[in-house]
Amino acid sequence: NKTEGKIVELIKRLIPVTEAVLVNYIYFKAQWMTHFDPNLTTEADFYVSKNRTVRVPMMGIKNLTVPYFRDEELACTVVELPYTSNDSTLFILPDDGRMAAVEAKLLPETLRRWRDSLQPRRIEALHLPRFSISSDYKLQEILPRLGIQKIFSEEADLSGITDTTPLCVSQVVHSAVLDVDEEGTEGAASTGVVIERKSFENFIVRFDSPFLFARSS
């Protein structure tokens, strides 16, 4: 399996008139530049909302320096965790009640501004949940809203990939799985941060409420 068993059933149903299935896959596995210490992983509360709390395995690292930015305009905290490769992941904490506002501004220019604003910051301890997520999207319902319409109609021109006519696209399915643990991130495709100030220079970053993340190469 080209996705190392992460995605096992991309297309669940084919109709009799199906002529071709085009599949594109991405498999990604990377180790953190600084591993989380397995001995520091403990069960901890994760505050899904004001009224709902769940127990999660909370990973930890002590005494590290990470790229850090506090965005006062959007009311969120940004921390970058690098991998041993040139890749990294941004973890973004919206303040309480600010998730929707930050999501609405999660645009390429916002990500660029965050990256340009990151500064090394010494952290006494960093805590992040160990997590695994998966998602499936039917892009034939999303792409037309972005202006990609003709390919799904009788006007579709697929002569660049086949001589068979007439053809049009009926399904575009995207499936993604991502695992984050003490060693790093493993994914196929495709928390809030509480800062507890200990002194003028040292503080703890704890992802224990809903957060966003964005991986980049």
Last residue of a domain, one of 90, 113, 129: 129
- What is the chain's pLDDT, residue by residue, as a tens digit (217 residues)? 544 555 555 556 656 655 556 555 555 567 888 888 899 999 999 999 889 999 999 999 998 899 999 999 999 999 999 888 888 989 998 999 899 999 999 999 999 999 999 999 998 999 999 887 776 767 677 777 778 777 767 666 766 666 666 666 666 766 666 677 788 655 544 322 333 333 335 578 889 999 998 887 7
* This prediction's pTM: 0.68
Same domain, 26 and 48: no
CATH of residue 179: 3.30.497.10
Question: What pLDDT, on a 0 to 100 scale, did the predictor assign at position 44?
Answer: 94
Mark whether 117 and 157 lie in a shared domain: no
Look at residue 27 in the predicted model and tell me its pLDDT: 58
Q: Are residues 104 and 74 in the same domain?
A: yes
End position of a domain, from candidates 129, 147, 167: 129
In a domain, 216, yes or no: no
pLDDT for the residue numbered 186: 53
State the residue range of the domain holding 170: 1-10+17-32+133-189
Burial of 59 (0-12, 13-18, 19+ CB in 10 A): buried
- 83, part of any domain: yes
